Amino acid sequence: QVQLVESGGGLVQPGASLRLSCAASGRSFSTYTMGWFRQAPGKEREFVASIWWIGVVGRYVDSYADSVKGRFTISRDNTNKTVFLQMNSLKPEDTAVYYCASGSGTGRHSYDYNYWGLGTQVTVSS
């Protein structure tokens, strides 16, 4: 069983930055694929970013939705079992509830994930 708790959401103006955190439980955190998804009102949940381990190259690899590429950065701290989402140059269309998830694979799809947090609200508005 893995528990995920997101934090760091809030209300910011366009162009501002936020850093989301997701604290995880579980013994094998370093092996988990970790991802961020978001859901805006009236829309389906969508992929934002993921980070996963590729053993053959011996490092983590990240992936981003086109809509956030170049503005958002996913990272992880395995010692403290935490994954982060640094969000820069925020736009009103980034407004959504952001969810952290853990699973396996490349993590670009909801079905890659077994566990989900409850979400944190991000609102970008002037």
Tens-place pLDDT, residues 4-13: 999 999 999 9
50, 106 Cβ separation under 8 angstroms: yes
Neighbours of 100 (CB within 10 A): 28
Q: Could you read off the pLDDT of 14-39 as tens digits, one per residue?
A: 999 999 999 999 888 988 999 999 99
52 contact partners, CB below 8 Å, separation of at least 6: 33, 34, 60, 61, 104, 105, 106, 107
What pLDDT score does 69 carry? 98
Q: Could you read off the pLDDT of 65-113 as tens digits, one per residue?
A: 999 999 999 999 999 999 999 999 999 999 999 999 999 888 889 999 9
DSSP 106: S
What pLDDT score does 58 carry? 86
What pLDDT score does 26 carry? 80
